[in-house]
Chain A
Amino acid sequence: MATRSQTAAVLLAGALALAACGSGGTSQAPAASGAKTLVIDTSFDLKTADPGRTYEPTGLIVGKAVYETLLTFDGADVTKPVPALAESYELSEDGKTLTLKLKQGATFADGSPVTADDVVFSLTRVRDMKGTPSFLLDGVEVAKTDDTTITLTSEAANPALPFILPNPALGILNSKVAKQNGATADAQDKAEQYLNANSAGSGPYTIESFNVSSQVTLKANPKYYGTKPAYDKVVIRNVEAATQKLNVQRGDSQVALNLSGDQVTGMPATLQVEKTASANVIFLLANQDSAISKTTPNAKFVEAVRKGVDYAGLLELAGEGSTQAPGVIPSQILGALPADQGAKRDVEGAKAALAASGLSNPTVKLEYPSELTVNGLSFQPLAERIQANLKEVGITVDLQPAPVTTALDNYRNGKEEMGLWYWGPDYPDPSDYLAFLPGKTVGLRAGWKEGAAKEIEEAGAKAAETIGDDARKTAYADVQTKLNASGPFIPLIQPGQNIVTAASVTGLEYHPVWTVDVADLGVK
Chain B
Amino acid sequence: MPPLARFLIRRVLLAVLMAWGITLVTFVLTNLVPGDPVAANLGQRALGDPAIVAQWRAEHGLDKPLWQQYLLHLQGLVQGDLGTSQQSHRPVSQDLAEFVPATLELAGAAILVSLVLGVAFGVVAALRRDRLSDHALRVLSLIGISVPTFWLALVAFYVFFYRLQITPGSGRVDAALGGAPYVTGLQTVDAVLAGRWDIFSSAVGHLITPALVLALYTIGLLTRFTRSAVLEVLGQDYVRAARAKGLPGRTILFRYVLRSALVPIITVAGLAFGSLLSGTVLVEAIFAWPGVGQYAYKSATTLDLPAVMGVGLVVGIVYLVINLVVDVLYGVIDPRVRLQ
Instruction: Mark A residues whose CB is within 8 Å of B.
Output: 1-3, 5-7, 9-11, 13-14, 17-18, 21-30, 32, 35, 37, 39, 41, 44, 47-48, 53, 55, 130-135, 138, 187, 192-193, 196, 208-209, 211-215, 217, 233, 235, 237-240, 242-243, 246-247, 249-250, 252-253, 371, 403-406, 408-409, 412, 423, 426, 435, 440-442
Contact = CB atoms under 8 A, between A and B. Distances in A.
B175 A132 contact: no
B259 interface: no
Contacts of A14: 116-117, 120-121
Contacts of A426: 43-45
Contact of B204 (A6, A24, A423): A24
Interface in B63-115: 87-90, 95, 98-99, 109, 112-113
Interface stretch (B11-19, B138-146, B157-165, B268-276): B157-165
Interface in B175-210: 175-179, 198, 201-209
Given A237-B288, A409-B39, A29 B120 contact: no
B220 interface: no
Contacts of B48: 135, 435, 440-441
A238 B171 CA distance: 9
B328 interface: no
A26 B207 CA distance: 12
A27 B43 contact: no
B288 A214 contact: yes
A246 B164 CA distance: 12
Given A17-B117, A405-B33, 11 more contacts: A3-B249, A5-B249, A9-B250, A23-B204, A29-B205, A30-B176, A41-B170, A196-B89, A238-B288, A405-B301, A442-B44
A442 B48 CA distance: 9
B204 A7 contact: no
Contact of A2 (B90, B166, B253): B253
Contact of A13 (B44, B120, B285): B120
A408 B46 CA distance: 14
A411 to B, nearest CB: 8
Contacts of A55: 43, 46
Nearest to B179: A209
Given A135-B49, A213-B298, A252-B170, A22 B208 contact: yes
Nearest to A219: B178
Interface in B9-49: 33-37, 39-40, 42-49
Contacts of B324: none
B288 A240 contact: yes
B174 A32 contact: yes
Contacts of A24: 201-205, 207-208
B295 to A, nearest CB: 5
Interface residues on B, range: 35 or more
Contacts of A440: 48
A215 B212 CA distance: 24
A3 B286 CA distance: 44
A187 B167 CA distance: 48
Q: Which of A26, A212, A214, A237 is most buried by chain B, counting CB atoms within 10 A of its CB?
A: A214
B250 A134 contact: no
A243 B204 contact: no
Contacts of A408: 35-36, 39-40
Contacts of B36: 405, 408-409, 412
B144 to A, nearest CB: 14
A239 B165 contact: no
A194 B170 CA distance: 28
Nearest to B202: A29
Nearest to B116: A17
A416 to B, nearest CB: 13
B169 A2 contact: no
Contacts of A423: 44
B168 interface: yes
A412 B39 contact: yes
Contacts of A214: 171, 288, 290, 294
B135 interface: no
Given A215-B171, A238-B290, A27 B208 contact: no
A28 B173 CA distance: 11
B303 interface: yes
B294 A238 contact: yes
Main secondary structure of the interface of B (DSSP, over half): helix
Contacts of A26: 166
A27 B205 contact: yes
A17 B332 CA distance: 27
A7 B253 CA distance: 10
B127 interface: yes
Contact of B90 (A22, A30, A196): A196
A130 B169 CA distance: 41
B202 to A, nearest CB: 4
A70 B102 CA distance: 41
A132 B162 contact: no
Contacts of B203: 24
Nearest to A240: B285
A239 B211 CA distance: 18
A130 B298 CA distance: 24
Contacts of A23: 204
3 A-B pairs with least C-beta separation: A214-B290, A24-B204, A32-B176
Contacts of A47: 87-89
Contacts of B35: 403, 405-406, 408-409
B61 to A, nearest CB: 15
B208 A25 contact: yes
A249 B162 contact: yes
Contacts of A41: 170, 288
A213 B42 contact: no
A333 to B, nearest CB: 16
Contacts of B315: none
B55 interface: yes
B128 interface: yes
A441 B40 contact: no
Given A130-B55, A238-B290, A441-B47, A25 B166 contact: yes
A441 B203 CA distance: 49
Nearest to A2: B127
Nearest to B109: A21
A25 B167 contact: yes
Contacts of B147: none
B169 A247 contact: yes
B253 to A, nearest CB: 6
B51 interface: yes
Q: Which of B43, B176, B285, B294 is most buried by chain A, counting CB atoms within 10 A of its CB?
A: B176
Contacts of A11: 120, 124
Interface in B198-236: 198, 201-209, 211-212
Nearest to B126: A2
A29 B177 contact: yes
Contacts of B165: 250
A405 B40 CA distance: 5
A217 B174 CA distance: 12
B201 A243 contact: no
B149 interface: no
B177 A30 contact: yes
